[in-house]
Amino acid sequence: MADIPVITALIAPEVEALGLSLVRVIMIGGTSDPTLQVMAERPDTRQLVLGDCEALSRRISEVLDAEESAGRDPVEGAYRLEVSSPGIDRPLTRPSDYADWAGHEARIKFIEPQDGAKQVSGIIDGIDGETVTISSPKGARAFPFSSIAAAKLLLTDKLINATAPLSTDGADTIKTES
């Protein structure tokens, strides 16, 4: 339905031009509600503000519309574009995520079982080259980054404290239009 590597290559320069880092590009929602989900963040804060999402959404739309007009549509059929920050319990998609989030809890699912386990949860110790290390209740476990199918941070008080919002201005204000 969607050629994710092609889409990623097309939009990565737009993300970088806005001073952002691309976290993940996937299709979600299946055939009933196909949604192209693009997650990005500011490298210095690991967050996005609404203006970042708006600007990135416009740029991605322009690029994908131009591809469609040129007969090279990387997404088959109608879909919705969703641009967002990775959120607090963010996916861990890049090797650098394991260095950045060392000391926090994560759940990692493997492509193929590693030492008999389909997944592992524990504290991220970090990454050395291509080897990720997690401290789990069964001890330290090391495995190749390439063996990871999916991973995400787990919501903890420590994570909440580490990811305080940039600004809460207006969070408690309800704006109505007349």
DSSP code, position 139: E
Among positive and negative, which fits the CA dihedral 43, 49, 55, 60?
A: positive
pLDDT of residue 169: 57
Does residue 57 surpass a pLDDT of 80? yes
Does residue 146 surpass a pLDDT of 70? yes
Q: Residue 144: helix, strand or coil by DSSP? A: strand
**How many CB atoms within 10 Å of residue 92?**
25
Confidence class for position 42, pLDDT limits 50, 70, 90: very high
Does residue 132 surpass a pLDDT of 70? yes
pLDDT of residue 177: 65
Q: Residue 72: helix, strand or coil by DSSP? A: coil
Given the structure tokens 């970042």, which residue do they identify?
A: 52
How confident is the model over 13-33, as pLDDT tens digits? 999 999 999 999 999 998 889
Confidence class for position 176, pLDDT limits 50, 70, 90: low
Does residue 165 surpass a pLDDT of 90? no
Does residue 155 surpass a pLDDT of 80? yes
Given the structure tokens 């990720």, which residue do they identify?
A: 132
Question: Rounded mean pLDDT of 115-135?
Answer: 95
DSSP state string for 10-26? HHHHHHHHTT-EEEEEE
> What's the alpha-carbon Rg for the chain, to the nearest Å?
18
Tokens encoding 95: 């090797």
Q: What's the N-to-C CA distance of the chain in angstroms?
A: 42
Question: Rounded mean pLDDT of 40-66?
Answer: 93
pLDDT of residue 115: 86
CA torsion, ordered 32, 5, 147, 156, to nearest 10 deg: -60
Question: Rounded mean pLDDT of 95-124?
Answer: 95
Do β-strands 80-84 and 35-41 pair in parallel, antiparallel, or remain unpaired?
A: parallel
